[in-house]
Chain A
Amino acid sequence: MSETTQFRVMDFDCPTCANTVERALSGVDGVEAVEVHYSTGRVEIDYDDDVADPATFETTIENQGYTPQPA
């Protein structure tokens, strides 16, 4: 089943960093679509919940040095 989840990353410091996070998230298994916005810090992920574990999304964002918050 396809699910959608949102996070807020309030500490993005540059637009390219947001792009990097977007690419990293698209690489996670089961992720269908990702939108990461530098301007608002909004992260929206469409994923297949049979495959992807939402917990890995947060780790992926943290690995890039940012703090995800629940939207």
Chain B
Amino acid sequence: METQPIEQYVRKHRNALVTAASGILYGGGWTLGYLTTLNTASAAVLVTAAVVGGYDIARAAYYEVKSRTLGIKTLVTLAAVGAIAIGAYWEAAAVVFLFSLGSYLEGRTMRKTRNALQELLELAPDTAMVRRDGELVEVPAHEVAVGDVVVVKPGEKIPVDGDVVEGESAVNQAPVTGESAPVRKAPGDELYAGTINQDGALEVRTTGSGSDTTLQRIIERVEHAQEAQSPTESLIDRFAKYYTPGVIVLAVGAYAVTQNAILSLTLLVIGCPGALVIGPPVSIVSAIGNAARSGVLMKGGEHLERAGQIDLVAFDKTGTLTKGEATVADVEGFGTTADEALELAAIAEKKSEHHLADAIVEAARNPTSAATDGGTTTATAGETDANAAQTSVPDPEDFDVVPGKGVVAHYDGRELVVGNRALLDERDVDVPQAVAESVRAHEEYGDTAVHVVRDGTVVGVIAVRDELRAAAPAVIEDLQTAGIETMLLTGDNERTAAAVADEVGIDDFRAELLPADKQTAIEALQDDGHVVAMVGDGINDAPSLATADVGIAMGAAGTDTAIETADMALMADDLERIPYAVTLSKATRWNVIENVGLAVLTVTLLLAGVLTSYVTLALGMLVHEASVLAVILNGMRLLRFE
């Protein structure tokens, strides 16, 4: 009754068992020959070792030949058979044993690398509790239909993609976005399958299940990225195409000249470029797998290799270095109260869709929340409780947008102009010294200042602030430590840009750029010999991301377009991943160079050693397999990179 499990065990561990058996026989045969004079017995045991270890190899070799490919198994089989034919039993057994041990270890370590990604998939639960006709039913997760409401208890994993319809909770999104801090979720917020509900019950309306979830799509993309050949890999593949047949010709030629069969067989054994072809893919698969687990999607080896050469990172400002949430930081009245200036601005801006306009209207509606001291803690208008008393803002009678400058509106018989200095100059509005100084002070602080004009007289200055992300200065510093230049690209005026650049410690900035100018700025940097990475949101910055050598999109989890245009995508809005992604790319590039270097060195030494008869058949195989294992283990270090 035990036979079934034993058979299964043997099937599953066939390679390990065969290798062990061949190893034991090889050791036994060698000892027998070394310690005793029973040479025939020793030879018999060694041949058995070669046959036991070699059966599977020879079988695979047969199929290799049948499908007309020239693989290492054919070469090893030839070498082993040849060695037995000329009576070199010890060599034959050693070659077979070392090869199968090497293959076993290589397959095993590669399995670990390949599994790195599968672990992510296993995070999504198999079943979901669905509310149907008022009752909770447990159904397989992939059978949940779009629109079904799934109930997720605290501590459970979320089985589908969907929107919260009921309940509030903190959700650990690390499996999808790599963010370590849990994210607060309330009705209307988006949830991803595979993330973990922490402290409250949630009801989720399904938007995707089974293979149609964000996690699944990310994993699919990551796999395709891992499979795509990097330029180094293609180069090596082309080389390998000539290398193996070349060595065979060399082996035949060497035999013709020296009549030394062992020498020719040894050449055959090292004829598989081994470490050279294995090294680069292992480095790249490990790096992409590591990145995926940290919420960074690398689009492939090609992008990774180029990213390894980055020497300058350019940042977009709004939404990248800053939170992208404009709030009114300060209002100053000239000849009127601050409140009135703000109200006039709000009326003029009410119909505008500009993000500065939103901030001004929001601040006017919630007068208590706008800080008017110009201090460091600022308005939180956008987050203010909806229940708080709101002041209503009247509609303007008419309204015109002056692109890039501001708005002109009429209300209650008066003309209202809200905008920058260029708009005021255009309309011949006199700017008093006090106003100019106020504007200058705000801009030097990094805020964007707009003038409020009533009937041709400036009555107020409003400072709008988009707060820096807390992580920004540390991110810039980390990049600088890694020897990378940093640059800010922004549409803001010089003074505001300079202030922001100074606050985050960024090396340089380019101000007053329209979107197309950002592309030109990047091209100019490239012409100066820089390898430029551009960090942006992936939608507004899509053209500059495409122009840069490496485009890095932030907050890409939900947006396919961002992932499409970028070379790397950060799943979360997590600026701190940038230094990680850049240093990982650099580490990968070095890792590939190390692996190629080691492989070339090994092959050169082996070839030289064989041709000068220093390297025997068994030693050749040992070094060959050892070098393959060395590059795999070296590449796998990238799985643990932090």
Q: A and B, one complex?
A: yes
Number of interface residues of A (CB under 8 A): 26
Q: Which of A24, A38, A65 contacts B57, CB < 8 Å?
A: A65
Nearest-neighbor residue (CB-CB) of A41 within chain B: B114
Nearest-neighbor residue (CB-CB) of A17 within chain B: B71
**B574 within 8 Å of A (CB atoms):** no
**Are A14 and B63 interface neighbours, CB within 8 A?**
no
Nearest-neighbor residue (CB-CB) of A35 within chain B: B227
**B64 within 8 Å of A (CB atoms):** yes
**B111 within 8 Å of A (CB atoms):** yes
Given contacts A11-B111, A41-B114, contact A23 B67 (CB under 8 A): yes
**Are A42 and B274 interface neighbours, CB within 8 A?**
no
- What residues of A have a CB within 8 angstroms of the CB of B284 in the complex? 39
Q: How far is the CA of A37 from the CA of B226 in the complex (A)?
A: 9
Given contacts A27-B67, A39-B281, A40-B223, contact A16 B72 (CB under 8 A): yes
Given contacts A39-B281, A40-B227, contact A14 B59 (CB under 8 A): no
Residue from the set A12, A13, A15, A63 with the largest chain B CB neighbour count within 10 Å:
A13
**A20 within 8 Å of B (CB atoms):** yes
- What residues of B have a CB within 8 angstroms of the CB of A51 in the complex? none
Taking CB atoms and an 8 Å cut-off, the chain A residues in 45-63 that contact chain B are 60, 63
- What residues of A have a CB within 8 angstroms of the CB of B67 in the complex? 20, 23-24, 27
**B285 within 8 Å of A (CB atoms):** yes
**Are B114 and A17 interface neighbours, CB within 8 A?**
no
Taking CB atoms and an 8 Å cut-off, the chain B residues in 34-69 that contact chain A are 56-57, 59-60, 63-64, 66-69
Interface bits A1-43 vs B (CB < 8 Å: 1, else 0):
0000000101111111101100110010000000101111110
Nearest-neighbor residue (CB-CB) of B284 within chain A: A39
Q: Which of A10, A35, A39, A64 contacts B226, CB < 8 Å?
A: A39
Given contacts A20-B64, A64-B60, A65-B56, contact A13 B226 (CB under 8 A): no
Residue from the set A27, A38, A63 with the largest chain B CB neighbour count within 10 Å:
A38
**Are A10 and B115 interface neighbours, CB within 8 A?**
yes
Q: How far is the CA of A27 from the CA of B110 in the complex (A)?
A: 27
**Are B68 and A14 interface neighbours, CB within 8 A?**
no
**B15 within 8 Å of A (CB atoms):** yes
The number of chain B residues touching the other chain, given as a range, is 35 or more
**Are B114 and A40 interface neighbours, CB within 8 A?**
yes
Nearest-neighbor residue (CB-CB) of B107 within chain A: A11
Nearest-neighbor residue (CB-CB) of A26 within chain B: B67
**Are A63 and B63 interface neighbours, CB within 8 A?**
yes
Q: How far is the CA of A23 from the CA of B69 in the complex (A)?
A: 8
**Are B226 and A40 interface neighbours, CB within 8 A?**
yes
**Are A37 and B227 interface neighbours, CB within 8 A?**
yes
**B240 within 8 Å of A (CB atoms):** yes
**B106 within 8 Å of A (CB atoms):** yes
**Are A13 and B110 interface neighbours, CB within 8 A?**
yes
- What residues of B have a CB within 8 angstroms of the CB of A27 in the complex? 67
Q: How far is the CA of A9 from the CA of B71 in the complex (A)?
A: 18
**Are A12 and B107 interface neighbours, CB within 8 A?**
yes
Closest approach, in angstroms, between the C-beta of A37 and any C-beta of chain B? 4
Nearest-neighbor residue (CB-CB) of A25 within chain B: B67
A–B pairs, 5, beta carbons within 8 Å:
A11-B110, A14-B628, A24-B67, A65-B15, A65-B57
Q: Which residues of B line the A interface, CB within 8 A?
A: 12, 15, 56-57, 59-60, 63-64, 66-69, 71-73, 102-104, 106-108, 110-111, 114-115, 117, 223, 226-227, 237, 240, 272, 274, 277-278, 281, 284-285, 628
Q: Which residues of A line the B interface, CB within 8 A?
A: 8, 10-17, 19-20, 23-24, 27, 35, 37-42, 60, 63-65, 67
